[in-house]
């Protein structure tokens, strides 16, 4: 008998799987472990992005003095705070063709020389 030809390893634990050639797991225990891990990975991914978005929002919020509708800040200041430009919730392009990038109700508009205009969405 040639064992090597049919040797398969379990996707969960890496042990050799015996039985039908299409088997991917030792047993249900390994199958469940594997599927739970996949689910956890995708949950982590979603959670990390949600956290990054909330952090971006907090940073923009913290820059705002009370009762101001817009302020200017620099890219450096945002980066030092830990702002991650790749995480936004949506964009808004006004009639002039300027595109604002939003994290929830706070948005920014890139200006010249690494300055940014920060705005807060008005209640509607
Ligand atoms: Zn296994």
Q: Distance from the CA of 39 to the center of ligand 1, in angstroms?
A: 18
pTM: predicted TM-score of the whole model, two decimal places = 0.74
Q: What pLDDT does 20 receive?
A: 76
Q: Distance from the CA of 44 to the center of ligand 1, in angstroms?
A: 24
Q: What pLDDT does 1 receive?
A: 45
| Alpha carbon separation from 24 to 16, 17, 38, 40, 54 (Å, rounded) | 10, 7, 15, 20, 39
Q: Distance from the CA of 19 to the center of ligand 1, in angstroms?
A: 13
Q: What pLDDT does 6 receive?
A: 62
Q: Distance from the CA of 35 to the center of ligand 1, in angstroms?
A: 12
Q: How far apart are CA 81 and CA 63, in angstroms?
A: 10
Q: What pLDDT does 60 receive?
A: 96
Backbone angles phi, psi at 49, to 5 degrees: -70, -40
> DSSP string covering 33-57, please?
HHHHHHHHHHHHHHHHHHHHHHHHH
Mean pLDDT by 10 residues, the chain (124 residues): 65 88 91 95 94 97 86 96 96 96 96 96 70
Q: What pLDDT does 65 receive?
A: 84
């Amino acid at each position: 008998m040639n064992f090597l030809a049919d040797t398969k390893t379990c996707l969960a634990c890496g042990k050799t799987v015996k039985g039908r050639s299409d088997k991917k797991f030792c047993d249900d225990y390994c199958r469940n472990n594997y599927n739970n891990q996949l689910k956890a990975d995708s949950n982590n991914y979603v959670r990390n992005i949600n956290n990054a978005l909330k952090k971006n929002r907090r940073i923009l919020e913290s820059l705002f003095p009370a009762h101001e509708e817009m302020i200017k800040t620099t890219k450096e200041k945002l980066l030092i705070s830990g702002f991650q430009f790749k995480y936004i919730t949506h964009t808004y392009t006004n009639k002039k063709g300027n595109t604002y990038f939003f994290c929830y109700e706070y948005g920014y508009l890139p200006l010249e020389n690494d300055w940014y205009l920060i705005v807060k969405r008005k209640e509607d």
